[in-house]
Structures are given as structure tokens and as C-alpha cells.
Amino acid sequence: MTFAEMSLNSLADSVAESGMAIAVAETFTGGQLSTALAAAPDAAEWFRGGVVDAAADVLGLTEGDAATELRAREMAKGVCILLDARVGVAVTGEAGTVFAAVHTTRHVVVREWHFEGTAHEVIEATIRATLGLVAVEVSLLAA
């Protein structure tokens, strides 16, 4: 089992034990973050699903650049509302600059990362970093 798989299993355990639900909105990662969460243990119990688009009309976003901190923040909140989740996760970006947001009932946290490599490598790094951020925020919410 890889470190990423162990981390995802730990996240899944924390979410399941706390009774939370997670939903995802993503553009840059093209559904791969949702795929990773859906493959986690007992995901059917806590993963509400994902939206692979940042369409303003679907998530209630303001018009503007899709690769910004504000867009990530709005996407995370919008997917919480749309899919009735306690935790909303969003990823947006372009050309190695990525914004990830986690919206919970307590607060919103946004991170900006700059990854180098091929598109595949940047997406993998984004997913790993985002899952780590989600794990931290879920543990704080569950405490």
C-alpha cells in the first residue's frame, strides 16, 4: 500500500466516523480528485459526488477568471450547497498554478500551489496536496 493510499484510507475512516459528507468541484484535475475519493473505503456512505466544471450557473459563481483564489472559494461553497455536503472541496488552476479550497461549516481555507512537470505530474501533485489539505480540515472539524 502506498503512502497516498494509506492517507486516503485514513481520511475515509475519519469522515465515516464523524458522519460528514464530502463533495468536490474541480476543473483542472478533470474528475481525478473525485475518482480518488470515490475509490476510498465506504465512499458510498460519505462521498456525495463531484462536479467537473466551474460553470457559474451550476455552482452560483461570479463571472471571471477560473484560476483564482476567489473561484476556488466559491466552487467549494457552491458544491456544498448543490450536493448537500458538510465539506466542499474545490480545485482550479492552469499552467502549474493551482488553487484548492476546503469549505466547512466552520470556515474556508484556500491554498495556492505552484507545481512543475508534465500535466500528469502536476495533476497528481495537486491531488496529493488537496487530499492532505482535506484530511487536516476534516480532522479539525471532527475534533
pLDDT tens string 28-42: 899 999 999 998 888
Pairing label, strands 97-103, 108-114: antiparallel
CATH number of the domain residue 67 falls in: 3.90.950.20
Comparing 141 with 109, the larger pLDDT belongs to: 109
> E strand or H helix at 33, and its extent?
helix 32-38
pLDDT of residue 5: 56
Length of the chain: 143
Domain count, the chain: 1
Residue range 9-22, pLDDT digits in tens? 787 888 878 888 99
Instruction: Place 140 in a pLDDT band, splitting at 50, 70 and 90.
Output: confident
Q: Give me the amino acid identity at 18.
A: S
Please say if the pLDDT value at position 104 is more than 60.
Answer: yes
59-84: average pLDDT:
86
pTM to 2 decimal places: 0.89
pLDDT of residue 102: 96
Sort residue 129 into left (φ over 0), alpha (ψ -120 to 50) or beta: alpha
Domain assignment of residue 28, given as a range? 3-142
Output the average pLDDT for the chain. 86
CA 105 to chain centre: 15
CA-CA distance, 122 to 12, in Å (whole number)? 24
